[in-house]
Each structure stands twice: as structure tokens, then as C-alpha cells.
A and B are shown apart, each in its own frame.
Chain A
Amino acid sequence: MNNEQLQTHSAFRFHGSWQEFARIAFPNLLLTIVTLGIYRFWATTREREYLWGKTDFIDERLEWTGRGMELFIGFIMVFLLIGLPFIVIQLVSQGLIFQGLPVLAGLLTFAMFLSLFYLTGLAYFRALRYRLSRTYWRGIRGGSDDPGFQYGLSYMWKTVLGWLPLFLMVPWAMISLWNDRWNAMSFGPHRFSANAQWTPLMKRYLLFYLVPFLIFVGAVIFGMSMAASGGTPDALGGTGMAVGGVLAIVAVLAFYIMLPLAALLFYSKYFRMAVGGLRLHTLEFEFRARAVDWVLFFLANMAIIICTLGIGYIFMPYRNWKFFVEHMEAYGEINIDELTQSQTVVEKHGEGLLDAFDVGAI
């Protein structure tokens, strides 16, 4: 029994409405202001409870069981274990510069930078683990027994290796780290497997990489052809200046529009490849948003924020989650009898590190 054949569409569905979300988001904003920001951990929790609870996977809602207190404790831990020591190190290294020991100060600063780099990677890993361990479906949760210390090292060397050949290996680093991260995660008794490929990303990455260069070359060719058809130097005098001015504006606009567009084009492919390489036992996943969906999504976000003079910012978690869920897809079948409880450890504190470094989870 309980062998549930998945339909080929809408394994994930979202039932939320922005009006309902507003009734959570506005009190959250008020409480966050009067508590000088401390309430934001509880605010995040309430928003997630709503968003998860309004999300169907196949035939049952998701459930967010994280607590505001966990996030708060995580934040305090980061503040005491990382924030304070770093403030002290900064003071000490300033003192060392004053005392004429700049080499020692430099070394200290470099060590601080290295450990921050390491902790950033660790934070990405821990955040994903925390979120999976607090996400329940049919009373079953996810998680990982890996504390992520090894991942922190991988994050460092893979990121650096991605930068080394003039940033050309960045797509490899991104995909490889995504795979590392998800291969350590599990849901119920099943381990995720992530085998995303990075080579299909290279075409779009090179496009993004070459945009500034292409715009420059385009402008030069355009300018030369204008000059060639413009005739005598006299005729070029006045109009030539005007043409030059217009060209410069076009080039700047192209830079500010084309570059983000190229970045989105790359990112949409990255996310499709990354999610597409993900498996959980007999389930396969797909992310169906194409570049044009991403562009419309971002334009709408910008319009909302601008038209509401910034207040619309509080709806961004809702918009992000909705976009994510509505484009997620899963194929395959789940044997409900086989899906037993996860035996992974559950940390008592939340994504404090991630919070401190201001990075996203997935």
C-alpha cells in the first residue's frame, strides 16, 4: 500500500496569499523596530511557519519547526565566539600599527580574513543543514550528521581555484560546492545525491564574462562605421560630437542592463542544472524557471519596492518562496512505508553564522 505515483506536474504547490502574509509581515516590522532588531529572529520564524505551512508537497503540507529562540541563541553565540574576538583582534592590530609592528598587524589581519573565509563556507553548510532539520513532511524531517568542518575547507580551496584562472573556473566551483553540500544532506532515511554538471554552464558564463568586452568592441565598430559613412571631417564636427555622446550613453546603459541580464541568464541556468542534478532515493528534482522568468521576477520585485517606497521589501521573503516553490518540480515515486524518521543529530541553535555573514541558504 501507499505507493503513490507522482503526477508529472505540480508536486509542489503554494496556497499562500500576500494579504495573509501582510498580516504577519507588518506586525513583524513593528515588533522588530521597537526591539531594536532583536525580534527579527522570531519574525523570520513566523514568516517561515506561514510559508512552509502553505506549501504542499504531493498531498501534505510542509511544516517549519524552527524557533525564534534558536536563531537568537545562534546569533548570540556568533557574537560572543566570533564577533567579540574579531573586534579585539582589530583593536590589537591597530595598536600594533601604532607601535610600528605593521608586519605582525598584517599577519593578524590576514589570519582574521582567512578564518572569516572559512566560516563563510561553514555558514552555508550549516544553514542548509539547519533548514532541512527543521523541515517536516508527514512527521519526517531531514538533516545531516556532517558538522560541515570539512566543507569549510573545500569552500576555501574550491573558491580560490575558481578565481585563479581569471575567474574562469567559477561555475565549476559553484556546482562542485553545491554537490558537496547536498551530498552530505538527507531526508528521512534517504541520502540526497547531487551530480550536477558544470560544463553546460560555460557558454552562458563566457557570455557574462565577455559582455563588457563585447560592448566595448560593439561601440568601437559602430563608431568607426559612423565615421566612415559620415563623409568630410567638417560634417563630423557638430554631429560627430552628438553621435559620440549618444554612443557613450548607449554604452553605459548597455553595461548596466546587459551585465545584470547576462548574470541572470547564467544564474537561471546554474540553478536549473544544480537542482536538476539532485536526487533523493527514487525522487528526481527539476527547477523550471527559465531566464525570462527570472528577469520578470526581478523586474516585478524592483517595481514593488520602488512603488511602495521601500516598504514592499518586507514582502520579498514571500515572493522568493513563491517563485521557488512554483518552479520546483519532482518526479518519481515515494514509498511512504519506507520513509522513516531521520536519525541525524539536531543542533539546538539556528543559523547564527549565516545570519552574521548575511548569506542565503540554497
Chain B
Amino acid sequence: MSTFFDVAHYDGQKAVKRKVEVQVVGPQFYLLENERCTGPFAFADVAYVTKQGEADVYGLTGHDGWRLILSGPVPSDLKGLLPAPRRYGGWVDRLGIGKAVIAFALTSAAAVAVVLFSPQWLAPLIPDSVDDRLGDALVGDFGGRFCHTPAGDAALQKLVASLDDAPQDLRVEVANIDMLNAVALPGGNVILFDGLLKQARSPDEVAGVLAHEIGHVRERHVMQALLRQMGLAVVLGGVDGNKGAMVNNLLAMSYSRNAEAEADAHSMQALGSANILPVGTASFFDRLAQLDGSEGAVKDNIGITSYLSSHPLSASRKDAFEKSIVKGKNYKPALTPSEWTELKTMCAQDRKAKSGFGFDFN
């Protein structure tokens, strides 16, 4: 049995439009034009191409530009043999748009959740050797900016040993850079900037900050942050540049807040077991709070700023550190006055250490 339909046709060889009859013979068809007959073609090779105005356009696999153009409603006999029109794309058409939207939204949420939470589990699985090599590559000798004097090194070593049980896998250095900051980097690297030492009024204050950074190392925050950033970059890679970067930063930031709180907890514990009074660290954060003006925010109970800054509010950290003081405990200074002086002036004494961020070409 065979059926005939009138359609427009391009053979893909020439731009001549032909009016042809489709003669259906089982799973195949022929195209008849006056005396000419082409085919047979298999319906299995027919692919939906596009909608052109009101017409549905079909192509033939392996024949560039070959077209059947069916205007208006397709006869139902033929419709069953031709592939279904494509609207949104394969998966969406198969599911229907409503279900597809829900499925995509859930998948996206799951992907973001995996990227945000998995670094916590993945970071400890990264071998130490990788961590160390990354740290060496990043830090090296810091362009000769690390300060060393025998007495200063000894004081720093004593401080580190009092705050950590395994100081041998840490590498704590003082960098000759006038910034009020300290950083933890891969491979157990902790860098205290000279500006922080100059600003600190007691060794207890430095001990609190150092213990905080050691907390980052011990909790593997650095590797977590790296993994999370990389994951977010991949997951949000499909979003246009700026928007993606903004969402990425917001998500990464809210998580580094958690990390900061954990590092603070580690710091308080380390100070406690080293018998160092946390009040110094508290007052240091108090002074930082005055610098960044977050004190007012806490009084007014406006918590919004704390979501947008990567560090917990300095003022609330101060409270936490003050509350960790145990009454009647026998606290002692983190360093003797002479050790403290040696540490504080180490960069001033070390003439060989380069200073600042200057990219000197020598």
C-alpha cells in the first residue's frame, strides 16, 4: 500500500525548489516530480531541522541541504512516520517544560551543595606531599622578604611550640611587609606580616593571631577554600562572567566565615593549653574593630555586614575571646620581655630582608 503527499523539496545540490509528491512505501519513501523519481529514502534517516514560519522543515542524514518542507498541518498518516518537532531541545522536550525546570533546579542546587560541602571531606584526602609542593611553589623564600635573627627565630620558635603539638610540620615566618595581617597558605605555611608585630602591644596578642592561623592549617581550611573556589568556578562557569563571579564570591565568603569561627575556636583552645591569657587577643580584636567600625553594627544588632565580610565581626570575636578566660587559672606571658623585643625588632635588625611588595628587578 502506498500513500501520496504534496510537499516542497530542495535536493541540497541546487537551489531550485521542487514540488514533489512523497510516495510512502512501508518504512521508506520516494519523491516523485513529473517523470522523475528519487529514492528510496528511509524515514529513519529523516531528521527534524527547524520551524520556518508556519512550515516544518525536515532534513536527511548525510545529505547536506536536503529538505522536505511541510507547510500547514502535517497529515496524520505522515506525522507518525516523521520525527517529532524539536522545541526546547532533547531533554526538555522529553520531560515537558514544567518537569524539566524542576529537575534542572534540583540538579543545580545539588551541584552547588556538593561543591560547597564536599571540600570539607575532600581536603583531608589530598596527600601532604601535594599540599607541601603547592606551598613551596606559592611561598618559596617569598622573594627574600622573610626576616631572620638568631634571637628572633628562637622567640618565634618558642611561641609556635607553645601553641602547637607538632610544630615541626609548620613553617612560620615573619615577612618584612608593613601590613596589619597574617596568612595561612598550603603546606603548613603561616606568614606573619611585620606590620602586625609592630601594632601588637604584647606577645599574647601575637600568640592569639598566630594560633588562629595555625587553626586554619590544622583544620585544612586552605585546601578546602582552593577546592571550593575551583568547584564553584566549574559549576558557575556557565553563568556570564560578572554575575557568576559575584555569586561565586558571596558563596565562598559565607563559607570562609565558618572557617574563621573554627580557627578562632582553635586559637582559644591553643591559648588555653599554653596558659596564655586570651585577653590580649580580645583587646587586639577590639582595636581592629575600631579600625573597621563594626562595633556599632553589633550594638544596633545589624548582622548584615557580617555576612558580607569574610571575618566574623571583630567586636563579637572580642566577646568570644573574653568569655574563654578561666578564672583562677595561672596564666603567664607568651614570651619574656626580651624575647618579645627580639621578635618585634627582627625585621628592623635583619638588614638582608627585602621589604614591601616592590618588584625590584635586580
Chain A interface: which of B59-67, B217-225, B305-313? Answer: B59-67
* Nearest Cβ on chain A to B260's Cβ, whole angstroms: 23
- Whether A37 sits at the interface, judged by CB under 8 Å, is yes
B65 in contact with A46 (CB, 8 Å): no
- Whether A124 sits at the interface, judged by CB under 8 Å, is no
A37 in contact with B15 (CB, 8 Å): no
For the complex, give the distance between the alpha carbons of A61 and B8 in Å.
13
B235 in contact with A98 (CB, 8 Å): no
* Nearest Cβ on chain B to A49's Cβ, whole angstroms: 5
Chain B interface: which of A226-234, A254-262, A336-344? Answer: A336-344
* Nearest Cβ on chain B to A227's Cβ, whole angstroms: 47
How extensive is the interface on chain A, given as a class? 35 or more
Given A97-B359, A138-B17, A339-B14, is A38 in contact with B64 using a C-beta cutoff of 8 Å? no
B139 in contact with A31 (CB, 8 Å): no
For the complex, give the distance between the alpha carbons of A15 and B97 in Å.
27
- Whether B154 sits at the interface, judged by CB under 8 Å, is no
Contacts of B39-59 to chain A: CB distance below 8 A = 49-53, 55, 57, 59
* Nearest Cβ on chain A to B170's Cβ, whole angstroms: 18
- Whether A188 sits at the interface, judged by CB under 8 Å, is yes
Given A35-B238, A36-B235, A336-B16, is A341 in contact with B141 using a C-beta cutoff of 8 Å? no
For the complex, give the distance between the alpha carbons of A341 and B10 in Å.
11
- Whether B142 sits at the interface, judged by CB under 8 Å, is yes
Q: Among B51, B66, B236, which residue has its beta carbon within 8 angstroms of that of A49?
A: B51
- Whether A140 sits at the interface, judged by CB under 8 Å, is yes
- Whether B140 sits at the interface, judged by CB under 8 Å, is yes
For the complex, give the distance between the alpha carbons of A136 and B107 in Å.
36
For the complex, give the distance between the alpha carbons of A38 and B139 in Å.
37
Chain B interface: which of A99-107, A154-162, A294-302? Answer: A99-107
Interface membership of chain B positions 81-124, coded 1 if the CB is closer than 8 angstroms to chain A and 0 otherwise: 00000011100100001001100110110011000000000000
Residues of A within 8 A of B57 (CB): 63
B16 in contact with A337 (CB, 8 Å): yes
Contacts of B217-268 to chain A: CB distance below 8 A = 233, 235-241, 244
* Nearest Cβ on chain A to B290's Cβ, whole angstroms: 31
- Whether B144 sits at the interface, judged by CB under 8 Å, is yes
B101 in contact with A100 (CB, 8 Å): no
- Whether A65 sits at the interface, judged by CB under 8 Å, is yes
Given A31-B92, A65-B49, is A139 in contact with B359 using a C-beta cutoff of 8 Å? no
Residues of B within 8 A of A39 (CB): 89, 104
A139 in contact with B67 (CB, 8 Å): yes
- Whether B2 sits at the interface, judged by CB under 8 Å, is no
A139 in contact with B139 (CB, 8 Å): no
- Whether A2 sits at the interface, judged by CB under 8 Å, is yes
B50 in contact with A340 (CB, 8 Å): no
For the complex, give the distance between the alpha carbons of A336 and B55 in Å.
22
Residues of B within 8 A of A97 (CB): 143, 359
A137 in contact with B15 (CB, 8 Å): yes
Given A100-B144, A139-B67, A341-B13, is A40 in contact with B238 using a C-beta cutoff of 8 Å? yes
- Whether B297 sits at the interface, judged by CB under 8 Å, is no
A31 in contact with B14 (CB, 8 Å): no
B239 in contact with A37 (CB, 8 Å): yes
A63 in contact with B50 (CB, 8 Å): yes
Contacts of A261-303 to chain B: CB distance below 8 A = none
Residues of A within 8 A of B52 (CB): 53, 61, 63
* Nearest Cβ on chain A to B231's Cβ, whole angstroms: 12
Q: Among B15, B111, B235, which residue has its beta carbon within 8 angstroms of that of A138?
A: B15
* Nearest Cβ on chain B to A46's Cβ, whole angstroms: 7
Q: Among B17, B138, B238, B359, which residue has its beta carbon within 8 angstroms of that of A102?
A: B359
Interface membership of chain A positions 16-41, coded 1 if the CB is closer than 8 angstroms to chain B and 0 otherwise: 00000000000100110011111110
- Whether B11 sits at the interface, judged by CB under 8 Å, is yes
- Whether B137 sits at the interface, judged by CB under 8 Å, is yes
Residues of B within 8 A of A358 (CB): 241
Residues of A within 8 A of B12 (CB): 139-140, 341
Contacts of B153-175 to chain A: CB distance below 8 A = none
A136 in contact with B88 (CB, 8 Å): no
B14 in contact with A136 (CB, 8 Å): no
For the complex, give the distance between the alpha carbons of A334 and B108 in Å.
50
Residues of B within 8 A of A68 (CB): 89
For the complex, give the distance between the alpha carbons of A17 and B142 in Å.
62
* Nearest Cβ on chain A to B204's Cβ, whole angstroms: 30
For the complex, give the distance between the alpha carbons of A288 and B63 in Å.
37
Residues of A within 8 A of B49 (CB): 63, 65
Residue of B nearest to A53 (CB): B52
Given A53-B51, A54-B53, A98-B142, is A340 in contact with B137 using a C-beta cutoff of 8 Å? no
A341 in contact with B236 (CB, 8 Å): no
For the complex, give the distance between the alpha carbons of A65 and B12 in Å.
14
For the complex, give the distance between the alpha carbons of A8 and B248 in Å.
54
For the complex, give the distance between the alpha carbons of A95 and B138 in Å.
4
For the complex, give the distance between the alpha carbons of A103 and B50 in Å.
55
For the complex, give the distance between the alpha carbons of A31 and B144 in Å.
53
A138 in contact with B10 (CB, 8 Å): yes
Residue of A nearest to B65 (CB): A139
Interface membership of chain B positions 11-50, coded 1 if the CB is closer than 8 angstroms to chain A and 0 otherwise: 1111111000000000000000000000000000000011
Given A27-B97, A35-B108, A36-B108, is A136 in contact with B65 using a C-beta cutoff of 8 Å? yes
B240 in contact with A35 (CB, 8 Å): no
Instruction: List 10 contacting pairs A-B, 8 Å CB cutoff, sorted by A.
Output: A30-B101, A35-B104, A36-B238, A37-B236, A38-B238, A49-B50, A61-B52, A102-B359, A139-B12, A337-B15
The 3 closest A-B pairs by CB, nearest first: A139-B10, A100-B143, A37-B238
Known: A40-B238, A53-B51. 12 other contacts (CB 8 A): A34-B101, A37-B239, A61-B55, A63-B52, A95-B137, A98-B138, A99-B143, A139-B10, A141-B65, A334-B15, A337-B14, A340-B15
Q: Which residues of A contact B (CB under 8 A)?
A: 2, 15, 27, 30-31, 34-40, 42, 45-46, 49-50, 52-54, 60-61, 63-65, 68, 75, 79, 83, 87, 92, 94-95, 97-100, 102-103, 136-141, 188, 334, 336-337, 339-341, 346, 358
